[in-house]
């Protein structure tokens, strides 16, 4: 195949909150163990939108600095074709020129306590494509360099169109749903039907719950939730969610609540509608702190509260489910834009009224 690689490329570069720019930058050089990938598409994540908006972490009254370390090429939901392999990369990653690949969003340091005990997704250094440049840039560019520390997965031909860009969020969704330990017959509620919520909904369906309920504020997303397997969809702007959930659970509440909205109201809603001894999985990134009476968790309901972060060991499952059509990416990827229209694409992803998942196509 023809693998002529230009010297320069277009990329969406994050220079800090509120300062993303389309730039022409050098195509990265491959060093030992590196892989150069020509990007086919890169999804815009809620994390990208929040990074651009300057999202910080709250720790009591103390606000942590933004999590991106500029300058860095944005984007972690990318896939593409291998066009160059550094020395030893073919053996190290088991790849050939022309393979279609994606890489896990985190590039583990391999040295910290978490990496060494196998909990690489919680790596203390925490370099993620598109947020921290120390090891590698992101995929909102014509090319992305993957390092020898990257965890690279082949994308089979049966994953068509831009569906390769949904592997990362799907892998995260798999982890969240696994954390929920859904049992046959459970009443499962998915709070928030954005891209990741709709993926979790499809995955939760595969667990054969007794009843699958989706909650969102937008009618379009609720309709799609029904199409993708929800038995009941509820809109808190119109429905009394607590009352409806109690009606269908003989007044006990749901067994499992998986939360994705990033809105404190969604947390409180979950704590209200869960039954005693129920399970709450939190995946969201918030832009403000949540205030709630914690006695609900212990004294009142003895809940299981599980966090979920990234996608440990779940990329192969995500790829397999997409390849087999057990999870559908087409209804989720609603819009694609060329890199030049990144700003329009980000705005559309942020508003989320028209779109579910927006991808950039170099
Ligand atoms: Zn993502
Ligand atoms: Zn580490």
What percent of the chain is predicted at pLDDT more than 70?
95
Please give the distance, rounded to the nearest whole angstrom, from the Cα atom of residue 105 to the centre of ligand 2. Answer: 14
Any idea which ligand is nearest the CA of 108?
2
91 CA to middle of ligand 2, Å? Answer: 23
What pLDDT sits at residue 40? 98
- Residue spans of the domains in the chain: they are 8-155+332-361, 170-307
**pLDDT for the residue numbered 4:** 86
Ligand 1 centroid vs 45 CA: distance in angstroms? 4
Q: Ligand 1 mean position to 355 CA, how many Å? A: 16
| Model pTM score | 0.96
Say which CATH architecture domain 170-307 belongs to. 3-Layer(aba) Sandwich (3.40)
8-155+332-361 classified as CATH 3.40.30.10: no
For residue 148, is pLDDT > 60? yes
pLDDT digit string, tens, across residues 100-123: 999 999 999 999 999 999 999 999
- Looking at the predicted structure, is the pLDDT value of residue 68 above 90? no
Judge whether residue 172 has pLDDT over 90. yes
Q: Give me the chain's average pLDDT, please.
A: 94
Question: Is the predicted pLDDT of residue 56 greater than 80, yes or no?
Answer: no
- pLDDT computed for residue 58 by the predictor: 60
pLDDT score at 283: 92
pLDDT digits (tens, 9 = 90+) for 302-360: 999 999 999 999 999 999 999 999 999 999 999 999 999 999 999 999 999 899 999 99
Residues with CB in 5 Å of ion ligand 1: 45
For residue range 235-292, list pLDDT tens digits in order: 999 999 999 999 999 999 999 999 999 999 999 999 999 999 999 999 988 888 899 9
Ligand 1 centroid to 361 CA: how many Å? 16
Separation of 215 CA from ligand 2 center, angstroms?
Answer: 36
The ligand whose atoms approach the alpha carbon of 135 most closely is 2
Task: Report the pLDDT value the prediction gives residue 28, as an integer from 0 to 100.
Answer: 95
What is the full DSSP assignment across 210-273? SEEEEE-S-HHHHHHHHHTT-SEEE-TTTS-HHHHHHHTTTTS-EEEEEE-S--HHHHHHHHHH
């Amino acid at each position: 195949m023809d693998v002529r690689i230009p010297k320069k490329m277009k990329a969406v570069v994050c220079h800090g909150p509120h300062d993303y720019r389309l730039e022409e930058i050098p195509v990265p050089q491959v060093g030992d163990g590196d892989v150069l990938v020509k990007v086919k598409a890169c999804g815009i994540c809620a994390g990208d939108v929040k990074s651009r908006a300057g999202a910080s972490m709250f720790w009591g009254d103390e606000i942590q600095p933004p999590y991106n370390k500029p300058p860095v090429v944005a984007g972690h939901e990318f896939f593409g074709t291998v066009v160059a392999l550094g020395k030893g990369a073919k053996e190290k990653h088991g790849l050939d020129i022309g393979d279609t690949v994606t890489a896990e969003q985190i590039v583990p340091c391999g040295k910290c306590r978490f990496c060494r005990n196998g909990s690489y997704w919680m790596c203390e250094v925490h370099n993620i494509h598109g947020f921290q440049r120390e090891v590698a840039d992101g995929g909102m560019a014509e090319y992305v360099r993957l390092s020898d520390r990257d965890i690279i997965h082949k994308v089979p031909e049966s994953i068509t169109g831009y569906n390769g860009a949904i592997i990362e969020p799907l892998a995260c969704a798999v982890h969240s749903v696994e954390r929920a330990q859904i049992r046959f017959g459970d009443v499962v509620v998915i709070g928030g039907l954005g891209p990741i919520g709709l993926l979790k909904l499809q995955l939760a369906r595969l667990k054969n719950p007794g009843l699958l309920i989706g909650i969102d504020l937008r009618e379009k997303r609720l309709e799609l939730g029904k199409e993708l397997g929800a038995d009941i969809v509820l809109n808190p702007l119109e429905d009394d969610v607590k009352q409806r959930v109690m009606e269908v659970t003989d007044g006990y509440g749901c067994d499992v609540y998986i939360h994705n909205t990033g809105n404190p109201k969604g947390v409180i809603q979950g704590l209200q509608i869960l039954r005693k001894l129920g399970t709450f999985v939190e995946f969201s990134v918030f832009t403000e702190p949540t205030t709630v009476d914690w006695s609900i968790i212990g004294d009142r309901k003895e809940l299981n509260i599980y966090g979920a972060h990234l996608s440990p060991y779940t990329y192969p499952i995500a790829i397999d489910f997409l390849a087999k059509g057990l999870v559908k990416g087409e209804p989720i990827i609603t819009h694609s834009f060329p890199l030049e229209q990144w700003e329009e694409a980000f705005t559309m992803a942020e508003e989320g009224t028209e779109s579910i998942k927006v991808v950039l196509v170099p």
